[in-house]
Chain A
Amino acid sequence: MKLTVWTYEGPPHVGAMRVATAMKGLHYVLHAPQGDTYADLLFTMIERRNHRPPVSYTTFQARDLGSDTATLFKTACQDAVDRFDPQAIIVGASCTAELIQDDPAGLAETMDLKIPVIALELPSYSRKENFGADETFYQIVRGLAAPQDRSARITCNLLGPTALGFRNRDDVEELTGLLSDLGVDVNVVAPLGATPADIARLPAAHFNVLMYPETGEAAARWLEKTYGQPFTKTVPIGVAATRDFIAEVQAITGLTATADESRLRLPWWSASVDSTYLTGKRVFLFGDGTHVCAMARMARDEMGFEVAGLGCYNREQARAVRAVARDMGVEALITDDYLEVEQAIEALAPEMIMGTQMERHIGKRLGIPCAVISAPVHVQDYPARYSPVMGFEGANVIFDTLVHPLVMGLEEHLLTMFRDDFEFHDAAGPSHHGGHAPVAMSDASGGSISGKMMPDEAPSVAEGSNVIWLSDAERELKKIPFFVRGKARRNTEAFAAQKGLQQISLDTLYEAKAHYAR
């Protein structure tokens, strides 16, 4: 048993739902108790879909337990086929049905449904949502792909986009345009938008673009082995990765056309003097492995940030994430426990977090700005506007996303220069966050970012240590803008501890500043 409040990933059958809901003409019959239908709202509310997910639940109740549940399952199957007339169905069990040991696959096979039935084995007590999606997509491809000739023109499949995927909708559009520049047509996008008939046509493509390893890798590997289709290894997030991806596609296809970069703005935006203040901003990244790996490179090489730490919640990508961490000279954090992530962030005190919905809340609590770069995300990160993260427009989007939460350079100077000015006092906060100027809440150091919590005269004892802040040092600390004060406090205390000092004076503060200057 493991006590959990927040989970980064749902159970594996939710991953299967993400594949089923992404597709058309496919129905999922899920053996599950009443109550598990809650998962529908992820699609209808968070992703704002305008139809019910194509999922029939058996919704068995306690009184059905026993032989009845098998009959219930068969009835649900038959009803789903009669009512929705799918080209194929997938059948499986949720965590509770896994325990009652009906055999959905066996039951469905005895029914002579006249359409392909794909059985799913999703171990609910050891695996999670991403595995569920990957495995489901793989089983569907295995079950439906049919041998055929390659298309006359050079085409590829886009593999991995699903329902409830982070920016999947727009990534598909962006890549389709990019590939068209390169002279490559898209044969099938799957699972997003594909029908079972489309899945059958996958082998007509010359190669596969593996968009999201988390949800498409098993299928890509199988297609490579079975139909000799190579798949791309670079995920085109960021300018450099997009260019590597283009080179990869050119190597696979032998085509030499290049992509249109006329609307790529990140390199100049990042080079312009307005961005100088971004240099060396310390960022912490957390999310799914793919987005973290890609965005870490961007953060360092294209934004000029310093990567202070990174990690992922999906163990499947641990190896890739560790490699990137090594390259960045930091330790990878592989965990699905958000309390551990919070601890790591607290310890590193970065100037910005790039993470998921959870890190956004951690950031809010610690007073650290955060940009969302990975699922799980809430409703606001399924935007109405076009917002890919892949390709060249994706790079533009990410530049804006990463800069927005930071205090603008000019504003940073003004805040420092006029820190005693009534309109620029700490509590006013950055102007574009004006709606929720910080009230008296704790900053990362446990102090007050309103600057009003500690009486000026009394020396204060730093939390969790025995070091005493003398009042002149305390006063000086408060003159430091609130968004860097947490770090200053932490560094000074660490410095004092290292020197074996009991008190922090004004001198200690400045000695520490000099010590940590970079």
Chain B
Amino acid sequence: MNDLTPTPGGGCRSAPVLKQRGQREVFCGLTGIIWLHRKMQDAFFLVVGSRTCAHLLQSAAGVMIFAEPRFGTAILEEQDLAGMKDAHTELDREVARLLDRRPDIRQLFLVGSCPSEVIKIDLARAAERLTQVHAPHVRVLNYSGSGIETTFTEGEDACLASMVPVLKDTPARELLLVGALPDVVEDQMLSLLGQMGIDNIRLLPARRIDETTAVGANTVFALTQPFLGETHAALMRRGARHIPAPMPFGEEGTTAWLRAVAAEFGVDDATFDAVTAAPRARARKAIAQAAEHLNGKSIFFFPDSQLEIPLARFLTRECGMTAVEVGSPYIHDAIHGPDLDLLPAGPQISEGQDVDLQLDRVRAARPDLTVCGLGLANPLEAEGLTTKWAIELVFTPVHFYEQAGDLAGLFSRPIRRKSVLRVEAAE
């Protein structure tokens, strides 16, 4: 039985959304490469951009950059801009050299950046041409991770959406699960569904190109990440049908997500309960431990990853927090709607950003915990606010039952830390 308690005040789906435009303090979509290249083990991400793009990747990837990463930047130089050299010839040469050095690469993504978009290098055409040159061993696709078009996790969305048109066709009734998850989480998800008898499952992205993902008119798909708007649209264009559900964060979110999928496949309640009872209990227990420090505390989300709405839902309903403002870079009704329905009315929902105005609001509200990017976290700490930096929520395994306690823990740790430190910062 779906035991989601009714939302006091009727949820936030129809709440007025504060939309502001101004300076945005966010990553661009290139950052998605950092986790996507770990997930797709035979893929290489080649950014066509500037030194800024290369510098962004290394700053965001931190130390990971030294683990022979499967990404790089083809840095545009002055001659490329002046048209003295044909950008396409240059690109072909760099790609040939790269593929020569890394014969293990099977999929190559040409990733567009602001500079490549502004000077209109036709990467789609380049991808087609290079696919022909390097087929059948390597498939070359392209998408844009530019800051002018994408915000942070939207880079993954753009990448996955670029794969949809080339997925092979299937007439079978299959479940397609969409969103890059850490392997351990993915395995848990597959095992839970398998125990319910749902096993005709495909994954997007797959770990390797050979594990081919297919799609067709009888495909139903569920999203495991809330930032997949373009991919959602691309799959609909292929005739697949979306199973709307809250995101699988926390015990409640995971159960609601699984239930939506189970209902689609006619799983009976007894089976559902038998499969989920034990992990649900475990998750509840783990959450309760971390929630001790979160109960009654207020929280403020700066926009970053589009995870804000489902996370606010989890923290308010399962950890006893009160949301002051929930900012999201973008809000898609079809995707965020189910979570907004469950989010207790009260918080200001905001889309987009004018960072200075938003900082004014957070200072006025003085929440117990502020979720924000790395550029804001230390400055806000220095003002006496407690912060949780948001990028960790994308890198760390946080979905499904077994991670529910860790997820709550990510939010309680900064609060606990504040309470254990007994030394004041000097001025």
Cβ of B376 < 8 Å from any Cβ of A? yes
Pair B379/A50 contact, Cβ less than 8 Å: yes
Pair B28/A1 contact, Cβ less than 8 Å: no
Query: In the bound complex, what is the Cα–Cα distance between A456 and B151 (angstroms)?
Result: 56
Q: In the complex, how many angstroms separate the beta carbon of B47 from the nearest chain A beta carbon?
A: 9
Can you pick out 11 interface pairs between chain A and chain B where the beta carbons lie within 8 Å of each other? Answer: A1-B91, A10-B55, A11-B52, A34-B28, A39-B59, A44-B374, A44-B379, A45-B377, A59-B147, A62-B146, A99-B119
Residue of B nearest to A37 (CB): B25
Pair B78/A10 contact, Cβ less than 8 Å: no
Cβ of B361 < 8 Å from any Cβ of A? no
Cβ of A268 < 8 Å from any Cβ of B? no
Q: In the complex, how many angstroms separate the beta carbon of B369 from the nearest chain A beta carbon?
A: 18
One of B8-16, B110-118, B233-241 at the interface: B110-118
A residues 32-76 in Cβ contact with B at 8 Å: 33-42, 44-45, 48-52, 56-62, 64-65, 76
Q: In the complex, how many angstroms separate the beta carbon of A148 from the nearest chain B beta carbon?
A: 33
Pair A125/B78 contact, Cβ less than 8 Å: yes
Which residues of B lie under 8 Å from residue A125 when comparing CB positions?
A: 50-51, 76-78, 80-81
Query: In the bound complex, what is the Cα–Cα distance between A60 and B24 (angstroms)?
Result: 9
Cβ of B161 < 8 Å from any Cβ of A? no
Cβ of B94 < 8 Å from any Cβ of A? yes
Pair A11/B146 contact, Cβ less than 8 Å: no
Task: Out of A2, A61, A65, name the residue touching B77 (CB < 8 Å).
Answer: A2
Which residues of A lie under 8 Å from residue B71 when comparing CB positions?
A: 5
Pair A59/B75 contact, Cβ less than 8 Å: no
Query: In the bound complex, what is the Cα–Cα distance between A36 and B25 (angstroms)?
Result: 9
Which residues of A lie under 8 Å from residue B27 when comparing CB positions?
A: 35, 37-38
B residues 30-66 in Cβ contact with A at 8 Å: 30-31, 46, 48, 50-52, 54-56, 58-60, 62-63, 65-66
Pair A42/B72 contact, Cβ less than 8 Å: no
Q: In the complex, how many angstroms separate the beta carbon of B375 from the nearest chain A beta carbon?
A: 3
Query: In the bound complex, what is the Cα–Cα distance between A6 and B56 (angstroms)?
Result: 10
Query: Residues 330-356 of chain B: 1 if any A CB is under 8 Å from the residue's CB, otherwise 0?
Result: 000000000000000000000000001
- Supposing A3-B98, A60-B148 touch, asked if A34 and B26 sit within 8 A by C-beta, the answer is yes
Q: In the complex, how many angstroms separate the beta carbon of B183 from the nearest chain A beta carbon?
A: 23
Chain B residues bordering chain A, tally (CB within 8 A): 62
Residue of A nearest to B66 (CB): A361
Please name 9 further chain A to chain B contacts, defined as beta carbons within 8 Å, in addition to the given A52-B375, A100-B118, A358-B66, sorted by A numbering.
Answer: A1-B90, A5-B54, A36-B52, A49-B379, A57-B23, A95-B50, A95-B52, A95-B115, A125-B81
- Supposing A37-B24, A44-B375, A95-B52 touch, asked if A1 and B59 sit within 8 A by C-beta, the answer is no
Cβ of B230 < 8 Å from any Cβ of A? no
- Supposing A33-B148, A34-B151, A38-B60 touch, asked if A4 and B73 sit within 8 A by C-beta, the answer is yes
Query: Which B residues are within 8 Å of any A CB, using their own CB?
Result: 22-31, 46, 48, 50-52, 54-56, 58-60, 62-63, 65-66, 69, 71-78, 80-81, 87, 90-91, 94, 97-98, 114-115, 117-119, 146-149, 151, 356, 373-379, 381-382
Query: In the bound complex, what is the Cα–Cα distance between A1 and B56 (angstroms)?
Result: 18
User: Which 9 residue pairs spanning A and B have beta carbons closest together?
Assistant: A35-B147, A35-B28, A40-B375, A50-B382, A33-B147, A96-B114, A41-B374, A95-B50, A10-B55
A residues 117-144 in Cβ contact with B at 8 Å: 123-126, 128
Q: In the complex, how many angstroms separate the beta carbon of A78 from the nearest chain B beta carbon?
A: 12
Q: In the complex, how many angstroms separate the beta carbon of B301 from the nearest chain A beta carbon?
A: 17
Pair A96/B98 contact, Cβ less than 8 Å: no
- Supposing A51-B379, A79-B356, A100-B118 touch, asked if A14 and B55 sit within 8 A by C-beta, the answer is yes
* Chain A CB within 10 Å, residue with most, of B52, B63, B149, B377: B52
Query: In the bound complex, what is the Cα–Cα distance between A128 and B94 (angstroms)?
Result: 22
Q: In the complex, how many angstroms separate the beta carbon of A407 from the nearest chain B beta carbon?
A: 24
Cβ of A518 < 8 Å from any Cβ of B? no
Cβ of A94 < 8 Å from any Cβ of B? yes
Which residues of A lie under 8 Å from residue B60 when comparing CB positions?
A: 38
Q: In the complex, how many angstroms separate the beta carbon of B397 from the nearest chain A beta carbon?
A: 23
Residue of B nearest to A361 (CB): B66
Query: In the bound complex, what is the Cα–Cα distance between A39 and B149 (angstroms)?
Result: 19
Residue of B nearest to A58 (CB): B23
Pair B146/A35 contact, Cβ less than 8 Å: yes
Q: In the complex, how many angstroms separate the beta carbon of A409 from the nearest chain B beta carbon?
A: 31
Pair B52/A4 contact, Cβ less than 8 Å: no
Cβ of A83 < 8 Å from any Cβ of B? yes
- Supposing A35-B146, A99-B81 touch, asked if A124 and B50 sit within 8 A by C-beta, the answer is yes
Residue of B nearest to A95 (CB): B50
Query: Residues 330-367 of chain A: 1 if any B CB is under 8 Å from the residue's CB, otherwise 0?
Result: 00000000000000000000000000001001000100
Which residues of B lie under 8 Å from residue A123 when comparing CB positions?
A: 78
Pair B75/A61 contact, Cβ less than 8 Å: no
Pair B25/A5 contact, Cβ less than 8 Å: no
A residues 1-23 in Cβ contact with B at 8 Å: 1-7, 9-11, 13-14
Q: In the complex, how many angstroms separate the beta carbon of B244 from the nearest chain A beta carbon?
A: 28
Query: In the bound complex, what is the Cα–Cα distance between A280 and B24 (angstroms)?
Result: 55
Cβ of A378 < 8 Å from any Cβ of B? yes
Query: Residues 271-313 of chain A: 1 if any B CB is under 8 Å from the residue's CB, otherwise 0?
Result: 0000000000000000000000000000000000000000000
